[in-house]
Chains A and B, each alone.
Chain A
């Protein structure tokens, strides 16, 4: 049997059972029964991405089988095998969608089934930065559970996103390994067809970040091939069904590595026979051209970005550094080179093994750096990285910043020999590698002594206060230049952020100072200087210099962008924005929702729905992606009246921005406690009438503003 015959066979099998399943579902529920995956605006995502047609009920799904059938041509050409592979994958998506019929929740832990739009958007930044170097799609399981677990861990240690389909899930679950989005190990489902859920992630990434027009299949396949670094590891035996999915995967540019030899063929860089499964990791990375950033840090536990989202529960905790109760802080300070002994890690006070298990302790660490190109403005930029750096340690959880940090170190780490000193090792190694261009010398001082920390914290707070004053004084008007940020262009080729002091990058990860530091670290890199000499309209934030930069760095895709307007050439989004705002026409206000909020907004749209309106470098007047910190900026939609236009936000988001937003509103409008005037899901979920009533009751300032000039 030829390779193509196997693909065709698997496709035929899937097609027939999908037709039967749809017919059976229609017999039970009727053609009008809705079909959808939860929390996605791209229903059904794969079919929509491939054909440009959304499916919302069983009748439409049945009709779509005609489109799928048309792909199932049978010439002995790769084109036909590719098309049949895609057809087979679409059948798998339908079969999976049918599981969610009628409000069913077909998957329980550890199986995850469908992955939400928020999941896809969360991948954006780490994929761009290379923190997630790739996506390993594991199908089936090894001969022994240990072998499967070893493979999964090998990828996890490299920071890869791992999905598992079939037998391997059992292997991982039985080993007691943590799974889920937080540790980047995602069991999809026991049935082979559940592999479609990771395909769905890849295709949505193309729609969200790449602005690929749904139905433009060549562009879709080019995007996934060029930009989504995924590959498949398939354990034998491979059924025709799996072989047909493999054809679909290869069509999208994802190589398949397998140990199957029976009735199997080899295609360089695409279908690879590697009988030595211990070499699958290395073989796959080479096949997909994935380079792993090597971080060799001398600590007794693993260090990888995959551990960034790991949660340490109370019961698993050895000690906790608790800034909410005792004096703790983290600080980066610039010193003279002579004052620093490079790589000196000093621990003042008891080490971890001298402290009773379960203690909440006072701990501070001060990182002192020196370098010819070092600037005091970079201190806070470096400090903001500490959160990510420490979180990548296996078994360590870090939250907060400055003097409000909380660090948990797990019992497992303690048993592995992890010491406070190792926190210093990580800080030293990361700082030296990521800020190589400005940091020549670096030492870390860790103080585990409540008395000393009390005094040190007071001194640190003075530093923080000075920095805040400087930041506050730093406005769009007070700085001489802005910066571009095109870090996301690896995924979103036509998007450009213009970063100003009062408008940070929409991902929330790049402030003006970050951009400045990035520019100095890498003068030809993603952050380029944008002069602001030729202003066209100050209120809109329209500059000839900005337009020129936008046109240049979007490669001609965009010509005009304003900094402060929601309607006139609003700034575009890559797709990994923290928040999105959209016009609420009844109140003439704006609704903001964030990625964490899965529920509806008064626009009748969820975050996913609103997010699907923009992204990929597209301008959609009335919708705009932005960072959380932009909400309390005086420049937030300043052209339309500023943050006083905000009429609705999720409660959690309100709480995050309350303090700063209230201050801004007081200054701008003379309104006290403005955040309380903003509705949230507790007073109004999706009914604009309820919203208006609430706004009337609290006397929201928007009611006295002019209608939007749409």
Chain B
């Protein structure tokens, strides 16, 4: 259709990766590209979800000749149990991230490593939770809120507090379907219990619990992770930065942060900007210090400080392959154990920091809230001292980067919308201007693009091509996680250029509001921001979330967290489009429950759509948005 001439194409990115793989060859390093080949073809039972190894009578694998496991469970029960366990793996990860944030909040103090940077937000949430704020010291309040938040994981009775933010209609649906989330740990434990040998084998019950566990993540653990990270580190506002491997600086000490929890990386960023450290770097022969990131830790620090994004999930080995990475500092989730042996092929220090993510061949700096400052300073210092150990002939930083404007929290989006409202008639602080754009047809709808990379899909292609297709069709894209980084690397978040390629409607909106057409909303826990945005839109519009012309899409997803996310997005009433099958195709019943008209769709007014043909997936998304418009008579 259009010539997206200014963007960095997947081909160009692959060319850059290929030049880095040359480096890998030189040092004899192993890479995911090779390991993916070694692992192909994948196990058909695993892919279909039809292998059960929950008890030691098996493993049982379902075939036409052996249609039931030893216990008698049929393929539908097995697939559904596997699906639920897969889901709660993600729920646990996200929610434990949220829990860590609550513990850090509990450690905040005036002048300490961790402080309350957005007291207004803390007060707002306290009011929302019915906590008395009058006359309270802000840190006393923070500690009180941390304790209340931590109880969300284990309270004996009641519903998730943040779930109350959803529109009334949505909450009614949840209660009616018995999926209103209770304590987070309970939903995970219940799921593990249900899938224990000899418990549930009824697919409907297992899928219901998958939705419920998912909701305890999206409207529970993840939402706490997001909201209280904002309280401590600041609520993101639009900020300009750059993305792609070229953000690493040849002459600087390069520290790459990776993982998901912003607590450590916030400290690293702080000390990398410390004049004392910069002077030390110069003393050691570098021109300065560059912190960049991969994965969601990168998203966290780019949203709040404009720290450049070196890449996404499948670029994590690339940053080491540049030969110019002094340290890759990781916290939790999505970290390749391969980084250990890979770093040994270079001068790079691979630094693990969390007891949750321990790996061989790494240096472990046990990170805690009390000692965060010292930890971070020691790490930065060690990276600086490592600068001299580079092998100059191995240094290769492909000159590839794009401009990006990031930092679109819900608060920031409303602020942008205030900018196009008219003080003579409009109310400020709402999503109404956006609703008007959609209602009038200027924008057709919105897509929430999320998720990972996956070697099963040519990396980034699905993200980038789908986004372009949406933009050309006047559909605005909100995005998080590795999908956001794919967009940034390609240039789709460039506030000047990207709009030129959009349909006339979206282009005009971008011009008037001064935004790129693809809005970076943060890391994968920040999909909770998208849920808040969707419910605010529905409330401001006066319709149900499921009626709003908005869909979700995870075209290259790979982790358990992604399935947990998929469950809560669908359960929130947002049709969700997947480009990779969630190990469910072995069961017609489970497939029907997840993707059919009469499964989850009946309970929550939305379902999954799976299509590995990306072009077709995009067409289906547009058709879904247009169908929602037609149903509204717009």
Are B505 and A279 touching (Cβ within 8 A)?
Answer: no
Are A78 and B442 touching (Cβ within 8 A)?
Answer: yes
Is A265 an interface position by the 8 A CB rule?
yes
Are B437 and A273 touching (Cβ within 8 A)?
Answer: no
Cross-interface CB contact of B504 among A3, A82, A225, A274, cutoff 8 Å: A82
Q: Among the listed stretches B362-370, B379-387, B422-430, which one makes contact with chain A, having 4 or more residues with CB under 8 Å of it? A: B422-430
Are A2 and B441 touching (Cβ within 8 A)?
Answer: yes
Write out the residue numbers on chain A whose beta carbons fall within 8 Å of the beta carbon of B424: 274, 279, 282-283, 286
Is B421 an interface position by the 8 A CB rule?
yes
Are A274 and B441 touching (Cβ within 8 A)?
Answer: no
Cross-interface CB contact of A3 among B426, B440, B503, cutoff 8 Å: B440
**A78-B441, A78-B442 given; A269·B504 CB < 8 A:** no
Residues 78-108 (chain A) with a chain B CB within 8 angstroms: 78-79, 81-82
Are A270 and B508 touching (Cβ within 8 A)?
Answer: yes
Cross-interface CB contact of A79 among B437, B503, B511, cutoff 8 Å: B503
Are A265 and B425 touching (Cβ within 8 A)?
Answer: no
Write out the residue numbers on chain A whose beta carbons fall within 8 Å of the beta carbon of B426: 268
Are A269 and B474 touching (Cβ within 8 A)?
Answer: no
Is B439 an interface position by the 8 A CB rule?
yes
B58-73: contact bitstring with A at CB < 8 Å (1 yes, 0 no)? 0000000000000000
Write out the residue numbers on chain A whose beta carbons fall within 8 Å of the beta carbon of B634: 2
Is A534 an interface position by the 8 A CB rule?
no
Rounded to whole angstroms, the CA-CA distance of A265 and B433 in the bound complex is: 12
Write out the residue numbers on chain A whose beta carbons fall within 8 Å of the beta carbon of B423: 286
Is A294 an interface position by the 8 A CB rule?
no
Is A272 an interface position by the 8 A CB rule?
yes
A55-81: contact bitstring with B at CB < 8 Å (1 yes, 0 no)? 000000000000000000000111101
B30-73: contact bitstring with A at CB < 8 Å (1 yes, 0 no)? 00000000000000000000000000000000000000000000
Instruction: Tally chain B residues at the interface, Cβ within 8 Å.
Output: 26
Which B residue sits closest to A271, measured CB to CB? B440
Is B436 an interface position by the 8 A CB rule?
yes
Is B543 an interface position by the 8 A CB rule?
no
Are B512 and A270 touching (Cβ within 8 A)?
Answer: yes
A276 → chain B, closest Cβ, in Å? 8
Are B504 and A266 touching (Cβ within 8 A)?
Answer: no
**A267-B442, A269-B422, A283-B422 given; A77·B436 CB < 8 A:** no
B599 → chain A, closest Cβ, in Å? 31
Is A254 an interface position by the 8 A CB rule?
no
Rounded to whole angstroms, the CA-CA distance of A3 and B438 in the bound complex is: 11
Rounded to whole angstroms, the CA-CA distance of A146 and B246 in the bound complex is: 65
Instruction: Tally chain A residues at the interface, Cβ within 8 Å.
Output: 27
Write out the residue numbers on chain B whose beta carbons fall within 8 Å of the beta carbon of A279: 424-425
B487-522: contact bitstring with A at CB < 8 Å (1 yes, 0 no)? 000000000000000011100100110000000000
Are B505 and A268 touching (Cβ within 8 A)?
Answer: no
Write out the residue numbers on chain A whose beta carbons fall within 8 Å of the beta carbon of B503: 77-79
**A279-B424, A279-B425, A283-B422 given; A265·B504 CB < 8 A:** no
Rounded to whole angstroms, the CA-CA distance of A82 and B439 in the bound complex is: 17
Is A329 an interface position by the 8 A CB rule?
no
Is B13 an interface position by the 8 A CB rule?
no
Write out the residue numbers on chain B whose beta carbons fall within 8 Å of the beta carbon of A270: 442, 508, 512
Rounded to whole angstroms, the CA-CA distance of A272 and B508 in the bound complex is: 15
Is A482 an interface position by the 8 A CB rule?
no
A8 → chain B, closest Cβ, in Å? 12
Is A4 an interface position by the 8 A CB rule?
yes
Write out the residue numbers on chain B whose beta carbons fall within 8 Å of the beta carbon of A653: none
Rounded to whole angstroms, the CA-CA distance of A283 and B421 in the bound complex is: 10
Is B558 an interface position by the 8 A CB rule?
no
**A3-B440, A265-B436, A267-B442 given; A77·B474 CB < 8 A:** yes
Rounded to whole angstroms, the CA-CA distance of A269 and B426 in the bound complex is: 11
Which B residue sits closest to A283, measured CB to CB? B424
Are B425 and A268 touching (Cβ within 8 A)?
Answer: no
Is A671 an interface position by the 8 A CB rule?
no
B186-226: contact bitstring with A at CB < 8 Å (1 yes, 0 no)? 00000000000000000000000000000000000000000
Are B425 and A4 touching (Cβ within 8 A)?
Answer: no
Cross-interface CB contact of A77 among B433, B439, B505, cutoff 8 Å: B505
**A273-B425, A274-B425 given; A268·B420 CB < 8 A:** yes
Name the residue among B442, B444, B503, B512 with the largest chain A CB count within 10 angstroms: B442
Cross-interface CB contact of B437 among A81, A82, A268, cutoff 8 Å: A268
Are B425 and A272 touching (Cβ within 8 A)?
Answer: yes
A227 → chain B, closest Cβ, in Å? 14
Write out the residue numbers on chain B whose beta carbons fall within 8 Å of the beta carbon of A450: none
Are A79 and B505 touching (Cβ within 8 A)?
Answer: yes
B497 → chain A, closest Cβ, in Å? 14
Are B504 and A79 touching (Cβ within 8 A)?
Answer: yes
Write out the residue numbers on chain A whose beta carbons fall within 8 Å of the beta carbon of B425: 272-274, 276, 279, 283
Rounded to whole angstroms, the CA-CA distance of A270 and B437 in the bound complex is: 10
**A78-B474, A286-B422 given; A266·B440 CB < 8 A:** yes
Are A269 and B440 touching (Cβ within 8 A)?
Answer: no
Is A287 an interface position by the 8 A CB rule?
yes
Write out the residue numbers on chain B whose beta carbons fall within 8 Å of the beta carbon of A3: 440-441
Rounded to whole angstroms, the CA-CA distance of A267 and B441 in the bound complex is: 9
Is B473 an interface position by the 8 A CB rule?
yes
Are B504 and A268 touching (Cβ within 8 A)?
Answer: no
Which A residue sits closest to B633, measured CB to CB? A2
Residues 578-627 (chain A) with a chain B CB within 8 angstroms: none
Cross-interface CB contact of B473 among A77, A273, A282, cutoff 8 Å: A77
Cross-interface CB contact of A269 among B420, B439, B441, B444, cutoff 8 Å: B420
Rounded to whole angstroms, the CA-CA distance of A438 and B468 in the bound complex is: 56
B625 → chain A, closest Cβ, in Å? 11
Are B474 and A265 touching (Cβ within 8 A)?
Answer: no
Rounded to whole angstroms, the CA-CA distance of A282 and B626 in the bound complex is: 36
Which B residue sits closest to A287, measured CB to CB? B422
**A77-B503, A273-B425, A286-B422 given; A268·B474 CB < 8 A:** no
Rounded to whole angstroms, the CA-CA distance of A78 and B420 in the bound complex is: 18
Rounded to whole angstroms, the CA-CA distance of A77 and B439 in the bound complex is: 13
Residues 255-287 (chain A) with a chain B CB within 8 angstroms: 265-274, 276, 279, 282-283, 286-287
Which A residue sits closest to B421, measured CB to CB? A268
Rounded to whole angstroms, the CA-CA distance of A659 and B626 in the bound complex is: 74
Write out the residue numbers on chain B whose beta carbons fall within 8 Å of the beta carbon of A267: 436-437, 440, 442
Q: A267-B437, A270-B442 given. 9 additional CB < 8 A pairs?
A: A3-B441, A76-B441, A76-B626, A78-B442, A269-B512, A272-B425, A274-B425, A283-B422, A286-B423
Q: Can you list 13 residue pairs at the A/B interface with Cβ under 8 Å?
A: A2-B634, A77-B441, A78-B474, A78-B503, A79-B505, A265-B440, A267-B442, A268-B426, A268-B437, A270-B512, A276-B425, A283-B425, A286-B423
Which residues on A are within 8 Å of B, measured CB to CB? 2-4, 76-79, 81-82, 225, 251, 265-274, 276, 279, 282-283, 286-287
Which residues on B are within 8 Å of A, measured CB to CB? 417, 420-426, 433, 436-437, 439-442, 444, 473-474, 503-505, 508, 511-512, 626, 634
- Ordered nearest first, which 3 A-B pairs have the shortest CB separation? A78-B505, A79-B504, A265-B440
